[in-house]
Amino acid sequence: MYITQAYKGLHDWWRYIIGVIIAILGVFAFSLPHVVAIIIGTFKGDIDQSQMNDTSYVMGLFEPNLNLVFILLPFAGGLLFLLLAVKYLHKQSLKHLTTTRKKIDWKRFWFIFFLWGIVSSSFVLIDYVLTPEDYVFNFKLGPFLILCVIAIALIPLQTSFEEYLFRGYLMQGIGIIAKNKWVPLVITSLVFGVLHIANPEVEKLGYVIMVYYIGTGLVLGIMTLMDEGMELALGFHAANNLFTALLVTADWTAFQTHSIFKDMSDPQTMGVMEIFVPVFVVFPILLFILSKKYKWTNWKDKLFGTVTEPPNENYKIIEDIGSDTRI
């Protein structure tokens, strides 16, 4: 059971509150370069303070590649501080936070990474073929190559922070407190979605887009619980953000990059079906494919069952402290 992996470390409820605070401190600490750049720009007169409440204006303050670095750095800080909290506050290994398997299964990660990368990219390319008037060819070799370096280096850190925080740390922590699996699944999915409410997409598309964010969190949570590990969730999220950042951008999205295409369509014309179809059609098909490939069974217990502390886990903690297996 994935959630019971938390019992292989120190799992007092208050440790999870402190751990979340530590992760937030990491986010703020690595946000300082962005804050300093904004202050310098304000003193130089390059930034209009009266527009700082406009998300689109803030997202476009700097050259796209530099702006992407500023956006992604806080997530790298959050990931670093979170993993430090797991190691020193909980005395839990990265492996036990990630999976129930003997070692992290990178084949799972890469399978879904390329599968979802191909599928999501295909949707964009099909839309480009059907409505070419909605796109501008935005490719510039130099800036694109720099984008590739930044995206490949930092986007996996961003997505890994979100996954380790929600599908890992909080899924396990809330699970052992609630003593069941559906409560952490629902809570982490809702909070994951709500934290995207500041994204410029919400401002342009309305709160209906929250169905996509919460639905994505729910699907990633189901992957984690059914597969007894985070490898699939990590791979899916990394592919979703990385391929999107490289392939298409728009003036109203969180990532405004030197991508290959730029979407010039009016986001207000996006229909409800374009938001609902991925959540209620595409994602269930994806879960079906994964369930067949990895032979998932016992859905009811894995998603709605109880969480029980395994016997003698306290002795296991003492025995493992200082062991190389905890690195």
Residue 30: pLDDT over 60: yes
pLDDT (0 to 100) of residue 315:
42
User: Is 322 domain-assigned?
Assistant: no
Rounded to an integer, the average pLDDT of 9-35 is: 97
pLDDT (0 to 100) of residue 322:
43
User: Is 326 domain-assigned?
Assistant: no
According to DSSP, residue 283 is labeled H
pLDDT (0 to 100) of residue 44:
78
Residue 116: pLDDT over 80: yes
Taking the CA of residue 113 as centre, how many other CA atoms within 13 Å lie in the half-sphere pointing to its CB?
A: 16
Structural domain count of the chain:
1
Residue 282: pLDDT over 70: yes
Mean pLDDT, all residues of the chain: 90
User: Is 208 domain-assigned?
Assistant: yes
pLDDT (0 to 100) of residue 300:
96
Least confident range of 102-106, 180-184, 196-200, 235-239:
196-200
User: Is 319 domain-assigned?
Assistant: no
Q: How far apart are CA 65 and CA 59, in angstroms?
A: 11
pLDDT (0 to 100) of residue 200:
80
Rounded to an integer, the average pLDDT of 174-184 is: 97
Q: How far apart are CA 203 and CA 252, in angstroms?
A: 8
User: Is 155 domain-assigned?
Assistant: yes
Q: Which backbone phi and psi does 126 adopt, to 5 degrees?
A: -65, -45
pLDDT digits (tens, 9 = 90+) for 248-266: 998 888 888 999 999 998 7
Judged by DSSP in three states, 263 sits in strand
pLDDT (0 to 100) of residue 318:
41
User: Is 239 domain-assigned?
Assistant: yes
Cα 271 → chain centroid = 25
Q: How far apart are CA 154 and CA 68, in angstroms?
A: 9
User: Is 318 domain-assigned?
Assistant: no
pLDDT (0 to 100) of residue 201:
82
List the domain range (segments joined by +) for residue 298: 3-313
Residue 321: pLDDT over 60: no
User: Is 321 domain-assigned?
Assistant: no
Residues 6+ apart with CB under 8 A from 4: 176, 307, 308, 309, 310
